[in-house]
Amino acid sequence: MSNDQDRSVPKIVALEVLEKNGVNVQRLIELIRKGVGAEFTTYYYYTILRMHCTGLEGEGIKEIVEDARIEDRNHFEAMTPRLYELGGSLPRDIREFADQAGCPDAYLPDNWQDINSILKVLLEAEQCAIRSWGEVCDMTAGKDPRTYDIAQKIMQEEVDTRHGLLSFCQKDPLVTLEESLLDNLHMLVNKVV
C-alpha cells in the first residue's frame, strides 16, 4: 500500500511540472489516445492487407505493407506506457478504442489486386499518422521532452516508410498513381525531413 503511494508521488509532481510548462495534459492524453488507437487499428487492417498482397504482381508491395504493419504495432507499444504515465488509459472496450482512433480505418480496398489502390490506402494512412503525431510534437516541444522524444521517433519512422513508398512508386512499372497523390507524397517527404 505504502509502495503505491510512493509511486504516485513523483507521477503527480511530474504532471504538475508539465502543466507549469504550459502543457494541457488532458488534451495531450486525448491526442495520444487517438494516436495509439490509430496505430493499433492500422496494425489490424494492415494485417488483412498484407495477407492479400501475397502472390500479387510486384511482390515489393508485400514487404512495404509488412514493414508498415510491424512498425505500427511498435508505435502502439512505444507510446501506450506514456499514456499511462500521464494519467491516461486505454478504453476498456476495444470497440470504443477503435471508434475514437484518430485516423480513418485502413480498409482493404475492393480492388485489392490493383497495387495502386493498396498504395493509396498506405499513403492516406501515413499522411494521417504524420499529422496526428505532428500535433503531439507541436504540443510537447520544449515542454514535455519524454513525450516529444517518443512522438518524434514515431514520426521519423513514418517518414522513412514514406520514403520507401516513394521509391517503390518510382521504380515499379505497375504503379500509375494519380499525379495529385504522388505530388502529395513528394510534398510530405520534403516537408517533414
- List interacting residues with Zn ion (CB under 5 A): 39, 72, 75, 129
CB-nearer residue toward Zn ion: 18 or 188: 188
CB-nearer residue toward Zn ion: 72 or 144: 72
Q: How far is the CB of 2 from Zn ion (least distance, A)?
A: 39
* Distances 100 to 49, 74, 147 between C-alpha atoms, Å: 22, 20, 20
Q: How far is the CB of 27 from Zn ion (least distance, A)?
A: 21
Q: How far is the CB of 39 from Zn ion (least distance, A)?
A: 5
CB-nearer residue toward Zn ion: 12 or 107: 107
Cell output for 41: 487499428
Q: How far is the CB of 155 from Zn ion (least distance, A)?
A: 9
Q: Which residue minimizes CB distance to Zn ion?
A: 75
Element (H, E) at 173: none
Nearest-angstrom CA–CA distance, 122 and 107: 10
User: Cα–chain-centroid distance for residue 54?
Assistant: 24
CB-nearer residue toward Zn ion: 144 or 157: 157
**Residue 73 CB contacts under 8 Å (≥ 6 apart), including other chains:** 39, 40, 43
